[in-house]
Structure 1
Amino acid sequence: MSRIPLPDLSALAAAQARQQQLTKPAGSLGQLESLACQLAALQGREVPLPLSPAITVFAGDHGVCAEGVSAYPQAVTGAMVANFVHGGAAISVLARVNQARLEVVDAGVAASLDGLPIVHAKVRAGSGNIRRQAALSAAEVQQALDVGRDAARRAIASGATLLIAGDMGIGNTTPSAALICRLTGHSVDSIVGRGTGVDDAGLALKRQVVADALARVAAAKLDGRALLAELGGLEIAAIAGFYLEGAAQGVPLLLDGFISTAAALAAQEIEPAVTPWFIASHCSQETGHQLALAALGLTPLLDLGFRLGEGSGAAAVIPLLQQAIALHAGMATFAEAGVAGKSEPA
């Protein structure tokens, strides 16, 4: 496994010093200032370069759907993968408008997707039902992590300097919630939400399913990989691998919503050094996302009520990152503009 580098603290200090000299009151651009400095540290440059984003959507199905935890049938997963590659999905549109590379990876869709122009890397046709059994074997977790690592390598080889992972998998908020509960210690009621829109009865059932899954493994001491095996899913494990490889290669990771944050927590459990490479794009409407981000020590840039997944919330934030860099690079300093800086007290 590649060692994950640390952010460049000298570049961070230089960027922070530059921010103090730009023609504006210090702090007046809020999070865009700290974001530019963070990107400077991650790129190892006082003035970071504009980003070349790549979006990889990982798809997989979940045996726990048999418990009735989703408002949609499992067949929607495969249908949406087709929609991605035919250009009709939200992430397809957002990738186009942001000039981002888009790749779709079948990590474990139950249906056959033969003939679609995607990356065919199916580990198995859907995970196990986490209420009653492990989602995956240890070997399958490793395969899924490798699927994600390979996808990160492809994106970076294509020139990507910002990585976004999207998800597609009917029912995947259930294993994601189970992982978040186990990894953060928060209660089921505080984390488990309505996903794609279950009613009150469906929400109560979903919370019971997650509670049962957690009870099944409550006494077990599980590391990050074992947690993915017991409570995860194929696309979730693949996203974790994507993050681990991206960080190892020194590329910033822009998190999306609830599922990608569950994968980020799992990646952190496997290798804590991954955490500084995360940037939180937005806060999902899904119950518990804010708590999951807080557990990673992250503050989201936006809160627009998104709960779609696919990488859509992260893609919507790409222009903010580009603007933060452009402001940091393009604004004049007080000296360059001949403008007097802040007066020192007498």
Structure 2
Amino acid sequence: MIQTQIQPISTALASALLNKINNKTKPLGSLGRLEKLALQVGLIQDTLTPELNKPVMMVFAGDHGIVQAGVSPFPQEVTQQMVFNFLSGGAAINIFSQTNAMQVRVIDAGVNHHFGMVPGLIDAKIGMGTQNFLTTPAMTQAQCEQALTVGISLAHKEFESCSNVMGFGEMGIGNTSSASALMAVLCELPPEQCVGRGTGLDDAGLQKKIDVIKAAVAQHKLDAKDACQVLATFGGFEIAMMVGAMLGAAEKKCVLLIDGFIATSALLVASKMQPEVLEYCVFAHCSNESGHRLLLHYLKAEPLLDLGLRLGEGTGAALAYPLVKAAVNFLNEMASFESANVSQAE
């Protein structure tokens, strides 16, 4: 079993941070969620003057055997094609990350394609895609633990390169099916509440996808308390590696930018392994993918944005990052009543 040591966030500076926030030249609470963000980042870094250094977006790619059951309108080759698109800078996540000065890391966690030596691609391949979890576990326990371990080491490597803000994105045809199954089992919810249209299923396709997930969940009969087994049974290599990266980033006291449905399903697994990971998370947005709003509610999460996005790739996390920057900047740079010689309310 993977061992990480995520420390609960210290609240020793909470009073001082709140005092600093409240003494800025504004009415109390008038910056709303930004005030909560500033407090959270200050507590994560245990300082009154937090800094956001070298933000990085980690995009994990992997293929899924469950596509054999007809759960996606897109062919599996799209995963590898999108990896090349990421590497050439042509995807939405490239544009949004570049807009916000974030570095993009493209990680082959388990794409069903031999890339060879491709510049810019991080080769962390566990296998050539997972198995069809309708009939057999998606991966072995050994593969699952390998993916987790690699994910932890990738996050640690980014931290050692001075990054303290990490966003998490993904690419993998069929991965909304994995996310839906993980959610259904770990949240103990009916699959129909967790399954959405993914990359654009019509009504008949959506019903088929629901039926497949229900059959798979019934087939494996797993204990919701065993998150690692649930992950191995229904996850993708990219999801498992993302779980590890989230745990590794939180272990190093980084700020975690959580994207949409698939990334949040990875966080769900991580939180079952190490509940403290949630304290380090900024929930970027509420996806338009059915099930995500319910999953956010389950995690007691407050997303920053609700733009109707359902692309994945980490796009929502990249779009939300400027709000985190704004929160830190107002905490550090905005004048206080005293420094600006402005009278306070009586």
Q: Cα deviation per residue 1:46-80 (whole Å; 9 max; x = unaligned)?
A: 12123431111111000000011111100000000
Report the Cα offset of residue 327 of structure 1.
1.1
Q: Where does residue 14 of structure 2 map in the other structure?
A: 12
Identity of aligned residues (%): 41
Q: Where does residue 61 of structure 2 map in the other structure?
A: 59
2:126 to 119, 123, 128: 123
With structure 2 as the length reference, what TM-score do the two structures score?
0.96
Residue 208, structure 1, aligned to residue 211, structure 2: yes
Q: Where does residue 89 of structure 1 map in the other structure?
A: 91
Report the Cα offset of residue 222 of structure 1.
5.2
* Secondary structure of residue in 2 paired with 1:72: coil
Change (3 A) 1:229 1:176: same
Name the aligned partner's letter for residue 125 of structure 2.
Answer: K
Give the Cα–Cα distance (whole angstroms) in 2 for the partners of residues 242 and 119 of structure 1. Answer: 14
Name the aligned partner's letter for residue 158 of structure 2.
Answer: A
Q: Where does residue 28 of structure 2 map in the other structure?
A: 26
Moved more, 271-280 or 195-204: 271-280
Q: After superposition, where does 1:269-284 map in structure 2 within 5 Å?
A: 269-284=272-287
Q: Cα deviation per residue 1:202-254 (whole Å; 9 max; x = unaligned)?
A: 00001111111111122546511111111111000000000011111111111
Give the Cα–Cα distance (whole angstroms) in 2 for the partners of residues 176 and 275 of structure 1. Answer: 18
Q: Where does residue 100 of structure 1 map in the other structure?
A: 102
Name the aligned partner's letter for residue 177 of structure 1.
Answer: S
* Secondary structure of residue in 1 paired with 2:13: helix
Unaligned runs of 5+ in 1: none
With structure 1 as the length reference, what TM-score do the two structures score?
0.96
Give the Cα–Cα distance (whole angstroms) in 2 for the partners of residues 156 and 50 of structure 1. Answer: 12
Across the two proteins, how many residue pairs are aligned to each other?
343
Unaligned runs of 5+ in 2: none
Q: Cα deviation per residue 1:242-270 (whole Å; 9 max; x = unaligned)?
A: 00111111111110000000000001111
Change (3 A) 1:219 1:225: closer
2:140 to 137, 141, 144: 137
Moved more, 146-155 or 196-205: 146-155
Q: Where does residue 340 of structure 1 map in the other structure?
A: 343
Give the Cα–Cα distance (whole angstroms) in 1 for the partners of residues 112 and 178 of structure 2. Answer: 16
C-alpha RMSD of matched pairs (Å): 1.2
1:255 to 237, 255, 258: 258
Name the aligned partner's letter for residue 74 of structure 1.
Answer: Q
Give the Cα–Cα distance (whole angstroms) in 1 for the partners of residues 155 and 241 of structure 2. Answer: 10
Q: Where does residue 113 of structure 1 map in the other structure?
A: 115
* Secondary structure of residue in 1 paired with 2:66: helix
* Secondary structure of residue in 2 paired with 1:10: coil
Give the Cα–Cα distance (whole angstroms) in 1 for the partners of residues 224 and 306 of structure 2. Answer: 35
Q: Where does residue 331 of structure 2 map in the other structure?
A: 328
Give the Cα–Cα distance (whole angstroms) in 2 for the partners of residues 245 and 168 of structure 1. Answer: 20
Give the 4+ runs in structure 1 shifted more than 2 A.
Answer: 217-222
Q: Where does residue 226 of structure 1 map in the other structure?
A: 229
Report the Cα offset of residue 100 of structure 1.
1.3
Report the Cα offset of residue 297 of structure 1.
1.7
Name the aligned partner's letter for residue 295 of structure 1.
Answer: Y
